[in-house]
Amino acid sequence: DIQMTQSPSSLSASVGDRVTITCRASQSISSNLNWYQQKPGKAPKLLIYAVSSLQSGVPLRFSGSGSGTDFTLTISSLQPEDFATYCCQQSYSIPYTFGQGTKLEIK
Amino acid sequence: QVQLQGSGPGLVKPSETLSLTCTVSGGSFSGYYWSWIRQSPGKGLEWVGYIDYTGSTNYNPSLKSRVTLSVDTSKNQFSLRLSSVTAADTAVYYCARRVAVSGTGNWFDPWGQGALVTVSS
């Protein structure tokens, strides 16, 4: 199985901050990397697919980059509604696997 | 807008079989793979498996011996059965649509609201 490792596991930031979350795969997954946002008690919501493609309706302050084994999710200017847990997922090979999540908290 | 609604018992006894159903509304049922993903309390997400409208399946090898997915196209539903459950199977079970675009990749969108299943006697 491909292991997905996110860092940091938690992060405190303020409204307006620029934030970057990293996801590393245990082997190359090409561009088969997706990002999800999950709020407490809710289902995950697709933010970005195929490394950098923004899902419809997702604000432009979210962006993704990377290839191979190293990927990043960046939020350019944090808004109050962005405080949530973010999770990466590889769709390169079965079984699909997820990172453990990064909890973004208000400082 | 496609919506997924999962349903099933919230409590299952150890060694018994967990059964959940997901109903798809507001969009096409064919042409996609329909998935189950679970999240244990305080833990990460684990892909369980997926099925398409023809019944073609793919399972997580770690669960394959205990998982059966099925589909009912007349009702736009797909179902999960997980046998011989233990406390380790306690989780929120999400159903989700797997979207696949040739040359781009595949991802899960949208997700159902999730169904908490507790394994306890």
Structure letter (DSSP) for residue B111: E
Instruction: Answer whether A97 sits within 8 Å of B61, measured CB to CB.
Output: no
Residue at token pair 């697919």: A49
- Residue A80's SS3 state is helix
The type of residue at A25 is A
In tens, the pLDDT along A6-39 reads 999 999 999 999 999 999 999 999 999 999 999 9
Six-digit token pair at A96?
């699909």
pLDDT at B42: 73
Residue B49 confidence (pLDDT) above 80: yes
Identify the CA nearest to B113 among candidates B34, B3, B35.
Answer: B3
Q: In the predicted model, what is the mean pLDDT of residues A61-79? A: 97
pLDDT at A16: 97
Where b means 16+ CB within 10 Å and e means fewer, A37-73 reads bbeeeebbbbbbbbbbbbbeebeeebbbebeebebbb
Instruction: Answer whether A95 sits within 8 Å of B111, measured CB to CB.
Output: no
Average pLDDT in chain A? 97
Q: Greater confidence, B43 or B113?
A: B113
Residue B10 confidence (pLDDT) above 90: yes
To the nearest whole percent, how much of chain B has pLDDT over 70?
Answer: 100
Residue B14 confidence (pLDDT) above 90: yes
Using an 8 Å CB-CB cutoff, list chain B residues near A34: 105, 107-108
Decide the pairing of beta strands A19-25 and B115-119: unpaired
Q: In the predicted model, what is the mean pLDDT of residues B107-115? A: 97
Instruction: Tell me the C-alpha distance between A96 and B64, whole Å.
Output: 14
pLDDT at A75: 98
Phi, psi dihedrals of residue A89, rounded to the nearest 5°? -150, 135
Residue B119 confidence (pLDDT) above 80: yes
pLDDT at B31: 86
Would you call A36 exposed, middle or buried from its count of C-beta atoms within 10 A (0-12, 13-18, 19+)? buried
Biggest CA pair distance of chain B: 48
Residue to test with chain A: of B3, B5, B45, most A Cβ within 10 A: B45
Q: In the predicted model, what is the mean pLDDT of residues A55-61? A: 98
> For the CA atoms of chain B, what is the radius of gyration?
14
Using an 8 Å CB-CB cutoff, list chain A residues near B46: 98
Average pLDDT in chain B? 96
Structure letter (DSSP) for residue A33: E
pLDDT at B24: 97
Instruction: Answer whether B108 sits within 8 Å of A97, measured CB to CB.
Output: no
Q: In the predicted model, what is the mean pLDDT of residues B66-92? A: 97
pLDDT at B41: 80
> How far apart are the CA of A102 and the nearest CA of chain B, in angstroms?
10
Instruction: Tell me the C-alpha distance between B94 and A8, whole Å.
Output: 25
Phi, psi dihedrals of residue A104, rounded to the nearest 5°? -100, 115
To the nearest whole percent, how much of chain A has pLDDT over 90?
Answer: 98
**Number of A:B CB contacts under 8 A?**
60
In tens, the pLDDT along B35-48 reads 999 999 877 899 99
CA–chain centroid gap for A41, Å, is: 18
